[in-house]
């Protein structure tokens, strides 16, 4: 048994764990990083990176069919599904060196490729190594939830951990779950020539603003994706393909089945009881500083039991580094953390939705909307579907939702606005290049002042007086 003493022991080499390890070691701390699976975690290998590569291929295929309005004759794309997956693999391989064991060892991190298990509040074992650390960071990410539907366990179902390695094009893909993962994969596979049916027990994109989510759902249906909302599955069966029996007695047949029914924190086998670390169904129980019931142990990212975003894990890393390295107080906030669903059109949100803002602020809330079809760049590109929606209280935005082209890019400005507590005047006063889609943000901000200026009789009287007395 090899014994190691260190300042910080990080368990999990996904986005949050890598950010903690890199930041801490470069500022002088001794760091041990433990990973039993692939470096880079879920985002690099099974999530954000491969899904966006697949969506890019699907977008290229769709462009060949959608140019009639621009004077381009539609053509049927010839999709080589295996070559598409080669593109996905190349994308992962191109990014992987940034997350590799070699890079982190080059930074001075001790990397142990094995599974970690707490032996006590101050010790972890990983393979033949026993690590004693002043501080621990649990950054183990999450795993797909597989619901206990009768018959499902006997089927060769897919999850996000397996679908990107599938080289056989599904003739008809059944997707259980209509959240962001389910709808992104639905649109991608439909555009690549697969039949697709999404089965969702509640509303599709049920976490999002219904007005904005409806735009995405309508587009997917227009492209030929069948989306069954408010529909439960009572059982699955195999055979020559996959058969889903719905709660109303209907049956659906498919060639493949993707489970996209949510995710849970990956905490199994960590020995949290031995560490004195409390957890619940969502993840490790942490305070506002991401510290667990064991003051030596922190949790970041999906393991911390909150929202499951790669960029949130990176933000969490900064919060715990400030505490562990500099003994500075730091608290994790969610009000400025954006999220995006990368369908076409994209759907992005930061801060409160309209329903959340109304519940919290009541009559003090002003809701602004600006449609993409009133944006010149959107008109020029034929990408006019969508709108921006801004929730304002006392002159400051408290939430913004965008559904439309490049929504995931456009939401960044509003994330800054909420983080810095900017007033609407700052946003209305910015100058954007013309023509850009970013002008929808400026126009929405300007809409906050329009009635105060153009429909105000006092303003009109002042202007008339000024004009009368100006030389």
* DSSP line for 275-296: HT--B-SSSB---TTSB-SSTT
**Token couple for 70:** 């621009």
Among 226, 227, 212, CA closest to 385: 212
Helix (H) / strand (E) element for 221: namely helix 210-222
What is the pLDDT, as a whole number, of residue 454? 57
Instruction: Return the CA Rg of the chain.
Output: 25
* DSSP line for 395-435: TEEEEEEEEETTHHHHHHHHHHHHHHT--HHHHHT----SS
Alpha helices in 64-164 (DSSP H): 81-95, 101-107
What is the pLDDT, as a whole number, of residue 202? 96
Compute mean pLDDT per 10 residues along the chain, 471 residues long, and list them: 95 97 97 97 95 98 94 95 97 97 97 97 96 97 96 95 96 98 98 98 97 98 98 93 94 97 95 96 96 97 94 96 95 95 98 97 96 97 97 97 98 97 95 96 90 66 75 72
Task: Tell me, rounded to whole angstroms, the distance of Cα 231 from its chain centroid.
Answer: 25
β-strand partners of 126: 116, 129
What is the pLDDT, as a whole number, of residue 453? 57
**Token couple for 145:** 């939830």
What is the reported pTM? 0.94
Among 11, 237, 301, CA closest to 129: 11
What is the pLDDT, as a whole number, of residue 270? 97
């Amino acid at each position: 048994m090899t014994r190691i003493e260190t300042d910080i022991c990080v368990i999990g080499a996904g986005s949050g764990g890598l950010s903690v390890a890199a930041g801490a070691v470069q500022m002088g701390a001794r760091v041990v990083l433990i990973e039993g699976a692939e470096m880079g975690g879920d985002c690099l290998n099974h999530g954000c990176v491969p899904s966006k590569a697949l969506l890019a291929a699907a977008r290229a295929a769709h462009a060949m069919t959608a140019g009639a309005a621009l004077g381009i004759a539609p053509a049927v794309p010839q999709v080589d599904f295996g070559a598409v997956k080669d593109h996905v693999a190349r994308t992962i391989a191109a990014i992987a060196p940034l997350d590799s064991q070699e890079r982190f060892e080059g930074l001075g991190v001790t990397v142990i490729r094995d599974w970690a298990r707490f032996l006590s509040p101050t010790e972890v074992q990983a393979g033949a190594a026993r690590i004693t650390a002043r501080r621990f960071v649990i950054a183990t990410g999450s795993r797909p939830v597989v619901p206990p539907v009768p018959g499902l366990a006997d089927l060769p179902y897919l999850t996000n951990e397996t679908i990107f390695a599938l080289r056989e094009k599904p003739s008809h893909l059944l997707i259980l779950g209509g959240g962001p993962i389910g709808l992104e994969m639905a649109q991608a596979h439909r555009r690549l020539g697969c039949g697709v049916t999404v089965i969702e027990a509640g509303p599709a994109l049920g976490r999002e603003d219904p007005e904005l989510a409806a735009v995405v759902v309508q587009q997917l249906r227009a492209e030929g994706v069948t989306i069954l909302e408010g529909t439960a599955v009572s059982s699955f069966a195999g055979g020559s393909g996959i058969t889903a029996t719905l709660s109303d007695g209907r049956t659906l047949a498919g060639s493949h089945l993707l489970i996209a029914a949510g995710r849970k924190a990956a905490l199994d086998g960590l020995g949290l009881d031995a560490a004195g670390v409390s957890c619940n169904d969502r993840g490790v129980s942490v305070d506002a500083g991401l510290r667990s019931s064991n003051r030596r142990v922190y949790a970041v990212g999906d393991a911390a039991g909150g929202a499951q975003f790669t960029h949130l894990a990176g933000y969490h890393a900064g919060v715990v580094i400030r505490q562990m390295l500099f003994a500075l107080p730091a608290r994790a906030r969610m009000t400025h953390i954006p999220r995006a669903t990368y369908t076409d059109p994209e759907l992005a949100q930061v801060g409160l939705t309209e329903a959340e803002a109304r519940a919290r602020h009541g009559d003090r809330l002003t809701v602004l909307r600006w449609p993409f079809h009133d944006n010149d760049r959107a008109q020029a590109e034929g990408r006019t579907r969508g709108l921006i929606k801004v929730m304002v209280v006392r002159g400051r935005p408290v939430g913004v939702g965008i559904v439309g082209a490049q929504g995931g890019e456009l939401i960044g400005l509003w994330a800054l606005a909420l983080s810095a507590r900017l007033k609407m005047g700052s946003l209305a006063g910015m100058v954007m290049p013309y023509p850009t889609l970013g002008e929808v943000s400026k126009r929405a901000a300007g809409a906050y002042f329009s009635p105060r200026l153009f429909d105000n009789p006092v303003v009109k009287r002042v202007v008339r007086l000024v004009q009368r007395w100006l030389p």
